[in-house]
Structure 1
């Protein structure tokens, strides 16, 4: 069963390009942006990370 999930994950990542790799950066950025006042400033590095990986 685990091999099927790994194969499915590999197939999806191959088809979707770099979006799968940039997802953790984007999720972290969204979480940081919820912090009042400093959220958008604190999220700037993760936004840059996501944009470098998946322009």
Structure 2
């Protein structure tokens, strides 16, 4: 095993460890009801981008998120 191949192995392990860390941080931030309300909140944010009618169209998804995660 050369030094270069060992370096690639360490980089791969570091990248995997970083990815696992990011997933753990995201899952810790979205626990319980917040995780269940996430699809409603994401849909609401997507609808609010639409000019003029976005906020009106997002009202049902906002209500959905509020019911799940008061």
Classify the TM-score, shorter chain.
0.7 to 0.9
Structure 1 unaligned regions, length at least 5 = 1-11
Over the aligned positions, Cα root-mean-square deviation in angstroms equals: 2.1
> Which has the larger Rg?
2
- For normalisation by structure 1, the TM-score amounts to 0.73
Alignment-derived partner of residue 50 in structure 2: 35
| Residue segments in structure 2 that go unaligned for 5+ positions in a row | 1-26
Structure having greater relative contact order (Cα 8 Å, sep ≥ 6): 1
Structure 1 stretches of 4+ with a deviation exceeding 3 A read none
Count of residue correspondences: 45
Q: 2:46 & 2:31 partners in 1: Cα distance?
A: 23
